């Protein structure tokens, strides 16, 4: 079980670089900055993650955000004390304040009601939210845990966990509890590796979170009066299944689904988790969903000879500053080629805030509807230029959510874009090897980089740091997979969940040199997501 958990954790750390650089949003919640992500369109679904992880590890890595975003507006927050959200040290800043964060986030986004899905600690928060703010929920999903009923004693491991975190000893008591056999199978070295990855220097903050759990109890009459449609999703081998068993007879409007053979760490990676969650949400949605888009066959993909790309621009506007050029290819056959040229609204503007985007691919950048302007957000230090949907001529493809980012976010160099291929699969870029930099657009059309955002055809990869593997030690290797394009720093990354291990054969080969300088090759086939 823990081997699978470690693989999931490491894959979360490895893959976050490939799809975790979406535009960040923050808001003030009672004096604490809360970080959140929004993806997709439709009825809102608020995701609340578990203890010691964050929104990306809990929901992004298993593909839950990507899957739900096809038909819903998915909102995933980093619970205070976790991820990129604020981290007060006082236990009084947690507990019911974590519940109020969810309400304040809905208020901030001007959302009256949402489906709320919580995992583990997130399920406990959701249970308290159901009791205190039932009018804000369309439905509730309690996954991997249930509400804490009034009068129930917290397990002994809770105080031990808080003490361990405060003393810098890590997550040992929690990992022992979540071991289905009830006996520790972890060496101190393994506990240190997990704790270093999930806790880091955040031990005292997480201890404060743990000590606040006692304030999240729910009274029996509140459980019995529940009118919110509620689903409990839990693994048959999850020790926290007892939490759901404890309230099952009292919690009204509850449906329980037990996923056989899964534990606390593997349940949300199991395909039955997403299947049952989507089925439940669909049953309780208040909006009719549109037809799903037909996937494009991979056989449509055609390689492009980049040396023969037409770099002529038939008509250009009068620029205010020195323009920056890039060429994009948006179709499988390589025929729909579009210019993206950045300019400034004023010659002395600090950022490129104007985009001329050749939406019809005819080379005329002066046509109506092809000039887009951006706005700089001082809080997030980003400047985004929204293009929106892009229909590909001669196909059924309609790419959505196309945006360009031109401010040097977090001191990254170059320009970045993001989109959803055919409205479904996230693609962004371009990326540079051995750094966090993005594509540098050229000062001339003849030398412009060519980016090909697509989920189709042969894909390449790059790493954000140099691959030096220490002998006898652990090393996180961050890989970004996608179409390499043409020119420096032009790889367009794909979300890893467009691959289907049951259908696609995914082979990974690690090539390295040992201490004697001899080449080593380790080849493996990936048969399921982490």
Domain boundaries, the chain: 23-283, 300-526
pLDDT band at 447; cut points 50, 70, 90: very high
Q: For 192-243, write each residue's pLDDT tens digit.
A: 777 787 888 889 999 999 999 999 999 999 999 999 999 999 999 999 999 8
Q: What is the pTM of this model?
A: 0.58
Residues constituting the chain: 530
Question: Which range is least confidently modeled, 168-182, 260-274, 450-464, 516-530?
Answer: 516-530
Q: What is the CATH number of domain 23-283?
A: 3.40.50.1820
φ, ψ dihedrals at 106, nearest 5°:
-60, -40
Annotate 385-422 with three-state secondary structure: EEEEEEECCCCCCEEEEEEEECCCHHHCCCEEEEEEEC
- Token output for 260: 């056989």
pLDDT averaged over the chain?
85
Q: Is 171 left (phi over 0), alpha (psi -120 to 50) or beta?
A: alpha
Q: Exposure of 6 by Cβ count < 10 A (0-12 exposed, 13-18 middle, 19+ buried)?
A: middle
Q: Are 45 and 68 in contact (CB under 8 A)?
A: yes
Q: Alpha-carbon distance 420 to 298, whole Å?
A: 17
Residues 249-262 have a mean pLDDT of 95
Task: Tell me, rounded to whole angstroms, the distance of Cα 362 from its chain centroid.
Answer: 35
pLDDT tens track for 279-320: 999 999 976 544 444 444 444 789 999 999 989 999 999 999
Tokens 């049953």 identify what position?
283
Q: Which residues are within 8 A (CB) of 14 and not within 5 positions of it... i.e. 6 or more apart?
A: 476, 477, 478, 479
Q: What is the pLDDT of residue 377?
A: 82
d(CA 234, CA 140): 14
Q: Which residues contact 82 (CB under 8 A, 6 or more apart)?
A: 49, 52, 53, 54, 209
Q: Which residues, at least 6 apart from 93, have a Cβ–Cβ distance to it below 8 Å?
A: 32, 80, 208
DSSP 65: H
Q: Between these two residues, 520 and 297, which has the higher pLDDT value?
A: 520
Is the pLDDT at 37 greater than 90? The verdict is yes
Residue 175 CA to residue 177 CA, distance in Å, equals 5
| Bond preceding residue 116 cis, omega within 30 of 0 | no
Dihedral (Cα; 382, 388, 394, 395), 10-degree rounding: 90
């Amino acid at each position: 079980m823990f081997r699978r958990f470690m693989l999931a954790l490491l894959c979360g750390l490895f893959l976050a670089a490939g799809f975790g650089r979406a535009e960040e949003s923050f808001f003030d919640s009672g004096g604490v900055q809360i970080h959140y992500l929004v993806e997709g369109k439709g009825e809102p679904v608020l995701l609340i993650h578990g203890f010691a992880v964050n929104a990306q590890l809990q929901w992004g890595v298993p593909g839950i955000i990507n899957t739900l975003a096809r038909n819903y507006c998915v909102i995933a927050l980093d619970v205070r004390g976790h991820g990129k959200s604020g981290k007060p040290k006082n236990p009084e800043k947690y507990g019911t304040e974590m519940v109020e964060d969810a309400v304040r986030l809905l208020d901030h986004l001007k959302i009256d009601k949402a489906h709320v899905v919580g995992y583990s600690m997130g399920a406990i928060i959701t249970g308290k939210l159901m009791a205190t703010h039932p009018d804000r929920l369309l439905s509730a999903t309690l996954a991997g845990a249930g509400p804490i009923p009034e009068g129930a004693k917290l397990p002994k491991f809770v105080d031990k966990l808080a003490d361990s975190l405060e003393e810098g000893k890590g997550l040992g008591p929690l990992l022992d509890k979540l071991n289905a056999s009830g006996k520790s199978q972890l060496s101190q070295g393994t506990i240190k590796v997990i704790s270093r990855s999930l806790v880091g220097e955040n031990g005292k903050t997480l201890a404060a979170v743990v000590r606040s759990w006692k304030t999240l109890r729910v009274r029996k009459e509140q459980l019995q009066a529940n009118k919110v449609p509620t689903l409990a999703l839990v693994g048959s081998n999850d020790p926290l299944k007892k939490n759901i068993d404890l309230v099952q007879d009292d919690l009204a409007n509850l449906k329980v689904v037990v996923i056989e053979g899964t534990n606390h760490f593997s349940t949300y990676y199991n395909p039955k988790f997403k299947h049952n969650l989507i089925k439940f949400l669909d049953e309780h949605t208040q909006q009719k969903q549109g037809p799903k888009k037909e996937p494009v066959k991979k056989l449509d993909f055609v390689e492009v000879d980049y040396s023969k790309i037409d770099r002529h621009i038939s008509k250009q506007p009068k620029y205010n500053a020195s323009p920056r050029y890039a060429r994009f290819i948006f179709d499988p056959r390589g025929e729909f080629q579009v210019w993206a040229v950045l300019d400034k609204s004023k010659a002395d503007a600090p950022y490129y805030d104007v985009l001329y985007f050749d939406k019809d691919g005819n080379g005329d950048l002066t046509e109506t509807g092809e000039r887009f302007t951006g706005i700089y957000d001082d809080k997030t230090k980003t400047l985004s230029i929204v293009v929106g949907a892009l229909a590909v001529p001669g196909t059924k493809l309609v790419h959505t959510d196309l945006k360009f980012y031109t401010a040097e976010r977090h001191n990254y160099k170059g320009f970045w874009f993001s989109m959803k291929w055919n409205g479904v699969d996230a693609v962004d870029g371009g990326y540079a090897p051995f750094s966090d930099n993005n594509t540098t657009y050229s000062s001339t059309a003849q030398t412009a980089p060519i980016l090909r955002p697509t989920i189709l055809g042969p894909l390449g990869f790059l790493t954000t740091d140099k691959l030096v593997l220490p002998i006898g030690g652990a090393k996180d290797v961050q890989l970004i997979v996608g179409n390499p394009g043409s020119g420096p720093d032009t790889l367009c990354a794909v979300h890893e969940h467009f691959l289907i291990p049951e259908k696609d054969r995914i082979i990974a080969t690690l090539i390295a040199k040992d201490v004697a300088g001899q080449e080593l090759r380790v080849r493996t086939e990936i048969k399921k997501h982490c």
